[in-house]
Structure 1
């Protein structure tokens, strides 16, 4: 890590698509291993880490519903996809020597723990990485909202959102050549301008609880450690003065 960590406890939100690597679907072992190494470098410096992972690389509830599937069933399928990703990430983290626990909002006693807030906090205090699976356990809520909720419940210092670009832009920079990149935004900036960072429910929850959000590029080597130290390229979203 470039400098001493700026944050004591962080939640990192990973998209399911971020685990695909160059694939069009599913999981890429090399990508999982690289992300696990990034997390290991942060944990080694005494930072307590927890994760929420999306399921879009396997199944996305909203897109399933748009194709005629009943929304509640589609969302539950999406939650199960996040459990698959969480177990894959758990395996990758343990291969690099970290102790982990997966806690699911939908009880699955044979494969992981149920979500219990105090137990999760205790795991992190012991240096374990906790992966929160199955979203909030409720349909109609995204994994972005789940990440904001768990970050608040865990008393995290910051929510770190890993994306495909190095911060928040006015439009998708892969599609819009002159998209503007922001170094700093307020929660109201994000909501008023409908910036595609996280859904409005997640942004509102972070705003209500004064939880800053850092957005950085998942694919830049060492970026997670730099962000946790307050360095590197990222966009910070926090309450305005």
Structure 2
């Protein structure tokens, strides 16, 4: 990485699927270790890092696995899955010598700290990596919305969403060959085009707080560091012109 990353404090949103590797479900140790290494690398460059990890590799409240289950109940199970993923990520980061804290919106005292905004800010100021778990603590909200909320509460300079593709496309590029890829979009364009980059509530929250969203491939080795250097393929969602992206 360069000596001057583009952002001082970031929130990284990682899908639960990224932790399962090539397995159909669950947590893959190699995948977690690779992601931990990517996070450790950017943190060592002086970037303050916090993250929200999804739970889709274990349970997804809106999936067929929850068919017939009350939505609120399914969402709480999904929130518990995010705690498991966050603890696994914490273990991998600490094996790399990184001071890490898990703060959960669902209080689970023997496992992690309860989420308190000022506590999270203090951990970041002390150079610790902070993993936010338990979603927002409320059903009917996704981890995308939790990521935008925590990014706003922590005063992050950007929200980086790691996905399986290298940006935002007009259609799924794995299904539609030659689908249009966007380099830059405004928040309203994402909403009006219904691009599904993140939930509408997350996009709106980021817009209200002027937090740029950078969508990139978390599967590509070195992808996170490349984004912070302003290199590599990604899509940026912002209303700030070239300030937050390539000139």
Shorter-chain TM-score tier: over 0.9
Q: Which residue number in structure 2 is paired with residue 38 of structure 1?
A: 38
Structure 1 residues 3-35: Cα deviation after superposition (integer angstroms, max 9, x where no partner): 521100000000001111110000111111111
Moved more, 231-240 or 177-186: 231-240
Q: 1:30-65: CA deviations, max 9, x gaps?
A: 111111110111000110000001000000011258
Matched residue, 1:137: 137
What is the aligned partner in structure 2 of residue 79 from structure 1?
79
Partners of 1:84 and 1:173 lie apart in 2 by 31
Match of 2:164 in 1: 164
TM norm structure 1? 0.97
Instruction: Find the counterpart in structure 2 of residue 96 from structure 1.
Output: 96
Q: Secondary structure at the match of 1:12?
A: strand
* Contact residue 148 and residue 202 of structure 2 kept, 8 A: yes
Tell whether the 8 Å contact from 2:217 to 2:223 is kept in structure 1 after alignment. yes
Tell me the CA shift for residue 230 of structure 1. 1.8
Aligned 8 A contact 1:7 1:229 in 2: no
Query: TM-score scaled to structure 2, two decimals?
Result: 0.95
Q: Provide runs of 4+ in structure 1 moved above 4 Å.
A: none
Partner of 1:210: 210
* 8 A Cα contact 2:54 2:82, kept in partner: yes
Q: 2:153 matched to which residue of 1?
A: 153
How many aligned positions are there?
241
Ranges in structure 1 where 5+ consecutive residues have no aligned partner: none
Mapped to 2, the partners of 1:4 and 1:226 lie a distance apart of 12
**How far apart are 1:96 and its partner, in Å?**
1.1
Aligned-residue CA RMSD in angstroms?
1.2
8 Å contact kept, 1:135–1:146: yes
- 1:4 is aligned to 4
- Please tell me whether the aligned partners of residues 3 and 45 of structure 2 are also in contact (alpha carbons under 8 angstroms): no
